[in-house]
Structure 1
Amino acid sequence: MFELFQASILPQQLLLSLLLTLVVCYWLLVLLGALDFEADLPDDLGTDGDAHHGTGSTHALGMSTGGAWLSLGRFIGFSQVPLMVWLSFMILFMWFGSLVLNEWYNQAGSLGQAALLLLPNLLGSLILTKLVTLPVAKLFKAMGDADSEAEEVIGRTGIVTSTEADASYGQLEITTANVPLLINVRTQPGVAPLKRGDSAKVLSAGPDNIFYLIEPAPQN
């Protein structure tokens, strides 16, 4: 462990060690609730050129630059997950790669040789980060889909399809333009159970959108 610490503070490793320290501190603050890690790439990057510089070639250049940047983000993965998640993996892989490469090819500790090793380290870290963030991106997409579903359901009215809906169990069917949507629901504590066929309105989503709170729908 002490040898690892010594290697981490060598001149050719020090910058990446400082960056990794910042990453660790950042995630500690996230765990403590002091920061939010939801930092995404803006979708409208480079699209407002005519708002500030008029129309024409400048606007076209902004659109081209923004489109290229977003394409790059999709290719290497930093536009598919929160940016800090991507940066954290990238810095971790670069830190570890720098340790290994300098141990193998730069035992003399030359800063020039360390700079040359930076390119293969960067390329390898990009590939590893892309591979690691692929399943992470699917997880965030599923979370986003669940949030979108919750937003679409809240405020809608449906029919109770279970025997009854109470504070511990229930199912509600909401009519849509395509297939009817069947969701798990609960009534608020103290509210009388709803019977099959009763109309109910969705109030809010429960923990992790596992179920939704409902109330009897107003009678017309």
Structure 2
Amino acid sequence: MGGFVTAALGFPAVLFSFLLIVVIGYWLLALLGAVDVDDFDGGDGLLAGFGGVPLSISLSLLIAFTWFASLAGTVLLDDLELSTPSRIGLGAGVLVVALVLGTLGTRVIVVPLRRVFGPAREPSRKDFVGRAAVIRTSSVTHDFGQAEVAAADGSTAIVDVRQAGQGNLTAGSRVVLYDYDSEREFFWVESLDI
């Protein structure tokens, strides 16, 4: 265990050891509900390639991968008998390599996660097409009528409906919304009672 602690506190791993402690603390607080994980994404700046997932996840992965790579590099440097200037120079090289490997490792994980954290699709009136509804007006014609329809989340809406053919759709009749006219903003309906 002493070798691990020595390597974790050696240059360049020590730079990321502190950050890894911060990351672990953050995720412990997130588990307790003290912090919110759904923060902003990487945007267009330094972390642009990590966009599409919460920044807390991207940074946590980057720090973890970079810490591991720098720890491995520190262990390799400790095995070599180097003078102090050589050790510092090679340590700086290990730092750069660790950052590159950490970035690549993070990208490998973040790209598939984008599908999980993708932007939520805005609800649309076309989501009602194919749903059953109940007529709420006294009748439905080719230029008048309203119906109550339930959305997928359980909420209800009153929408304008029209009937293409002749029929007897009155209040309480069950219908299906089979098409949406976006220009005139109403649904075409057909009776469910066959």
* TM-score tier (shorter): 0.5 to 0.7
1:32 aligns with 2:32: yes
Where does residue 61 of structure 1 map in the other structure? Answer: none
Higher helix share: 1
Where does residue 10 of structure 1 map in the other structure? Answer: 10
What is the identity, as a one-letter code, of the residue corresponding to 1:22?
Answer: V
Confirm or deny: 8 A CA contact 1:81 1:137 kept in the other structure: yes
Instruction: Kindly state the Cα deviation for residue 22 of structure 1 after the two structures are TM-superposed.
Output: 0.1
CA deviation string 1:17-37 (max 9, x = no partner): 110000011111111111112
Return the alpha-carbon distance in structure 1 between the equivalents of residues 130 and 2 of structure 2. 58
Where does residue 177 of structure 1 map in the other structure? Answer: none
CA deviation string 1:64-103 (max 9, x = no partner): xxxxxx28644xx222221121111111011100111122
What is the identity, as a one-letter code, of the residue corresponding to 2:61?
Answer: F
Q: CA RMSD in A?
A: 3.1
TM-score, scaled to structure 1: 0.54
Structure with more contact order per residue of length (Cα contacts < 8 Å, sep ≥ 6):
2
Return the alpha-carbon distance in structure 2 between the equivalents of residues 216 and 71 of structure 1. 42
Return the alpha-carbon distance in structure 2 between the equivalents of residues 215 and 128 of structure 1. 45
Return the alpha-carbon distance in structure 2 between the equivalents of residues 86 and 11 of structure 1. 24
What is the identity, as a one-letter code, of the residue corresponding to 1:116?
Answer: G
Unaligned runs of at least 5 residues, structure 1? 44-69, 159-172, 175-179, 183-195, 204-210
1:137 aligns with 2:118: no
Percent of pairs with identical residues: 27
Where does residue 93 of structure 1 map in the other structure? Answer: 65
Partner SS state of residue 131, structure 1: helix
Confirm or deny: 8 A CA contact 2:20 2:63 kept in the other structure: yes
Unaligned runs of at least 5 residues, structure 2? 135-146, 160-170, 172-194
Confirm or deny: 8 A CA contact 2:150 2:157 kept in the other structure: no
Larger radius of gyration: 2
Where does residue 92 of structure 2 map in the other structure? Answer: 115
Confirm or deny: 8 A CA contact 1:106 1:113 kept in the other structure: no
What is the identity, as a one-letter code, of the residue corresponding to 2:148?
Answer: A
What is the identity, as a one-letter code, of the residue corresponding to 1:125?
Answer: G
Partner SS state of residue 98, structure 2: helix
Confirm or deny: 8 A CA contact 2:7 2:75 kept in the other structure: no
Instruction: Kindly state the Cα deviation for residue 181 of structure 1 after the two structures are TM-superposed.
Output: 5.6
What is the identity, as a one-letter code, of the residue corresponding to 2:66?
Answer: M
Residue-pair matches, total: 143
CA deviation string 1:36-61 (max 9, x = no partner): 12232486xxxxxxxxxxxxxxxxxx
1:23 aligns with 2:19: no
